[in-house]
Amino acid sequence: MLIYLKLIIFSGAITQQMPTLKRIREQQNLTQEELSEKSGISVRTIQRIEAGTLPKGYTLKTLAKVLEIPESELLDKKTKTETIGGEKAEIKQESVAIDYSKIKLVNLSSLLFVVLPPLNILVPLLLASILKQKNPLVKQIVSVQILWTILAPIVFMLGIFLKLGGKFTLGLIICIVLSNLFIILRNAAEIDRHQKLYFKLKFNML
């Protein structure tokens, strides 16, 4: 007789897994070919994992490292078995789901501080910590803000160097601020529609 428990254990063999690699890959805007190139794992292997094959050993560790996620996240919705009193018991374990409404809130928090760097970076980080949303999407949101904060003064100084007048300088400041507003709002819309970011980096700055 099968006994269903709600305990999390560390012993036993993994017997079944619902595939999550495809979801995570798409959240990071990666194609199978791009993930293969970054990880050194063949496209065919990635396809098998996304079809439901369980990643193990080197493959599991490499994918988790490249995607910057815990190995357990690739084993989402997995079932473990162990023997209790001579009978097999199935223990179901699910990792914490990503809350996209909270991620959207973290993203939008930068709106209030686009003219007050580095608060546009610190506030999302603090909010993500409070909401317990430390995941690749949040890291990319903050990374985009870090890059914008670095590039904005550089572009502004170049505008000053060109000496095109006060009106040009004012217009440049407005354009710089509006560019970040557009990035934040466009990413918020993409989170709503497709649960991923429209603007993201090919690397992580955190």
Q: Quick: pLDDT tens for 179-204.
A: 999 999 999 999 999 888 999 998 88
- Provide the mean pLDDT of the chain: 81
Confidence of residue 78 (pLDDT cuts 50, 70, 90): very low
* Predicted pLDDT of residue 107: 96
Position 83 pLDDT exceeds 80: no
* Predicted pLDDT of residue 17: 39
* Predicted pLDDT of residue 206: 81
Please report, for the chain, how many H helices and E strands are present, in that order.
Answer: 9, 4
Q: Which CATH superfamily is domain 3-93 in?
A: lambda repressor-like DNA-binding domains (1.10.260.40)
Residue identified by tokens 């100084």 is 157
pLDDT (tens digit, 9 = 90+) per residue, 25-62? Answer: 988 999 999 999 999 999 999 998 888 888 888 999 99
Give kind and range of the element (H or E) at residue 87.
strand 87-93
Among 28, 23, 25, smallest CA distance to 139 is for 28
Domain ranges of the chain: 3-93, 100-194
Spatial distance between the Cα atoms of 178 and 176, rounded to a whole number of angstroms = 6
